[in-house]
Amino acid sequence: MIQIHRYPGVTEWRFTSLGSRLAGYAARAFLTDDGVLIDTGIPACGAALEPMLDASVVRGAIITHHHEDHAGNVERLARRGVPLWIAPDTLPRLTSVKRIGAYRRVTWRSMPRLQSAVMPFDTGDMRMLPSPGHCADHHVVWHAPSRTLFSGDLFLGVAVRIAHHREDPWAMMDSLERMADLEPARMFCAHRGLVPEPAGALRAKAAWIRRTIGELQRQIAAGRSDGAIMRAVLGGESLAGWASAGDYSRRNFVRLVRERQALRPA
Ligand SMILES: [Zn+2]
């Protein structure tokens, strides 16, 4: 299902599947009045996307990162000849798609790999800014004339206690602070939609991560186990953690901090 919501200058396409609705998730793509599509929606909505594309002027699409809820229909767009901006780090992860966990297949479905030719895209006023943390190839899209930030998966919420096992909370803090310094007037999050007071929200998230890492580090230094720390600091495992068999979990957050701690010289 794709639902449409209009904002001044921007149309939100909100994608859900039966699985994602049961899990309480939606993924968004955004189409500017200038014809720039940011992200491509979920693979489960591929067929429903076709009439939307037929009825819209899309002069090109920008992919924020390789995850299937963002790049899920990239092959569909390439096949239609829509020009694409894809970061060099992202491209190989779209042309050869890794198998994803069952919870992601149920929520979003697996994405077809990109095999059609990629037409280059002149993105005009849009700037793609590296913003690693959520994943290494993550980019946000910044439109300076309207001070609008399309934040992909950089934000998601202030106190997000679950993590993928390859996230980098330190890089995320840096990315959040750099994007807050742009002082965006508007921010569109791929999962939350329009976020009020974006600069404050980005700084609040960076501060929450810094505080939480500090607390996790203290608990690790005190010799406590991952499970005990997760319960004490993060309130125990989340439903997503159980449903994803630990792939997207609070325990991962503890583990990421412990691994980083172990790399430090004594
Ligand atoms: Zn993502």
Cα 182 off chain centre by: 19
Ligand 1 centroid, distance to 93 Cα (angstroms) = 13
Helix (H) or strand (E) holding 37: strand 36-38
So what's the pLDDT on residue 242?
A: 84
Q: Model confidence at 7, in pLDDT bands (50, 70, 90)?
A: very high
Ligand 1 centroid, distance to 156 Cα (angstroms) = 10
Ligand 1 centroid, distance to 114 Cα (angstroms) = 18
Ligand 1 centroid, distance to 134 Cα (angstroms) = 7
Ligand 1 centroid, distance to 27 Cα (angstroms) = 10
Average pLDDT along the chain: 94
Per-residue pLDDT for 131 more than 70?
yes
Ligand 1 centroid, distance to 126 Cα (angstroms) = 20
Per-residue pLDDT for 5 more than 90?
yes
| Window from 42-51, 68-77, 95-104 with minimum mean pLDDT | 95-104
Of 154, 157, 155, 203, which Cα lies nearest the Cα of 183?
203
Q: pLDDT, tens digit, for every residue of 91-120?
A: 999 999 888 888 788 788 889 999 999 999
Ligand 1 centroid, distance to 105 Cα (angstroms) = 14
Q: pLDDT, tens digit, for every residue of 175-228?
A: 999 999 999 999 999 999 999 999 999 999 999 999 999 999 999 999 999 999
Is residue 29 a contact partner of residue 40, using CB atoms and an 8 Å limit?
Answer: yes
User: Tokens 């997760």 sit at which residue?
Assistant: 230
Ligand 1 centroid, distance to 18 Cα (angstroms) = 19
Ligand 1 centroid, distance to 79 Cα (angstroms) = 23
Tokens of 139: 């980019």
Domains of the chain: 1-124 (3.60.15.10)
Q: Model confidence at 266, in pLDDT bands (50, 70, 90)?
A: low
